[in-house]
Amino acid sequence: MRIITRLAPDVGLLPISFVNVYFIGRPGGPWVLVDSGLPGRAQQIFGAAEARFGAGARPEAILLTHGHFDHAGSAEDLAEAWDVPIYAHRLEIPYLTGKADYPPPDPTIGGAMAFLSRFMPSRARDLGERVRELKPNEVLGAPGWEWLATPGHSPGHISFFRPSDRVLLAGDAFATMNMDSWSGLVTGKRTLARAGAPFNSDWDATRLSVKELAKLRPNVVGCGHGIPRSDPQLPMALERFAERFRAPRRGRYVRRPARTDERGVLSLPPAPFDPVPFATAGALILGGIALGAGYLDSKRRR
């Protein structure tokens, strides 16, 4: 197993299906894992870690940009095997300790990921007593790095930034692939776009977070989804993307966000009507009627 992409001499990327995990650190020194991918992928991450840091190497900690299933899915298995803590923003902790479910995704905004979100979990994960709250201005095991609150995609979403060489790990604050497009999902074509739009529960906060990240003028950007970017046009491209960032035209959280605090969800806007389940059920019923009619016609002919 090997790290597929190197963002910087001490920053490696491992793609796991459609989501990325990151390794910060050098062989022989302290290192950390940023995000943990989908459930059931711990062995894949173990293999990559050993290829990069040596057999038996373990991180100082697992750092989560947020707790959605595709970013925290293997965190518990990894933390147990390595015997390390899991760090997240305090506003994510209710969803990582089984105390609250995330605001449900909104499939009515339209697009590829919105359609798929109907089949994706939003329930809380209980990662147990290993979960710790990130302290201000502290990134354990990664000196020179800082974490930034970038809420919107989730209440306690954070990004990681190193000012010395302006490397940014943005999580799902935005993406470097178009997840709203079927062709974008299939090809992974590199572009700046919204990340996991149906899971965004506060669009005003998401837009402000993108603008704050653009002000950093990063030289390198690695996101939770998509191929990292490090081209000379990146700072200007991110600035233009932030200026033009727009919420969907319709959707549950477009005009009113989910209200949350350190306890979890306080209130949700009403769920819009979603015609797809009804259309699917109708198609199945009509198909059943047609099959049944054909069977009866066959019986009569005999």
pLDDT (tens digit, 9 = 90+) per residue, 109-158?
999 999 999 999 878 789 989 999 999 988 989 999 999 999 999 999 99
Mean pLDDT value across the chain: 90
**Residue 44, helix vs strand vs coil:** helix
pLDDT of residue 125: 84
**Residue 153, in any domain of the structure:** yes
**Residue 280, in any domain of the structure:** no
pLDDT (tens digit, 9 = 90+) per residue, 205-243?
999 999 999 999 999 999 999 999 999 999 999 999 999
Number of domains in the chain: 1
Rounded to the nearest 5°, which phi and psi values hold at 87? -110, 140
Which of left, alpha, beta for 264 (phi over 0: left; psi -120 to 50: alpha)? left
Q: What is the pTM of this model?
A: 0.89
Sequence-ordered list of residues with C-beta below 8 angstroms from that of 256, at least 6 positions apart, any chain: 269
CA dist 141 and 282 (Å) reads 54
**Residue 250, in any domain of the structure:** yes
**Residue 102, in any domain of the structure:** yes
Q: Output 152 or 5, whichever has higher pLDDT.
A: 152
Proportion of the chain above pLDDT 90, given as a percent? 83
CA dist 161 and 216 (Å) reads 9
**CB 74, CB 39: distance < 8 Å:** yes
pLDDT (tens digit, 9 = 90+) per residue, 167-196?
999 999 999 999 999 999 999 999 999 999
Specify the CATH number for the domain of residue 176. 3.60.15.10
Q: Is the pLDDT of residue 277 over 80?
A: no
**Residue 166, in any domain of the structure:** yes
pLDDT (tens digit, 9 = 90+) per residue, 280-300?
433 333 344 344 444 444 444
For 171-209, give the DSSP string: ETSSEEE-TTSHHHHHH--EEEE-SSGGG-S-HHHHHHH
Expressed as residue numbers, the domain containing 252 is 5-271
What is the mean predicted confidence (pLDDT) over 201-208? Answer: 97
**Residue 298, in any domain of the structure:** no
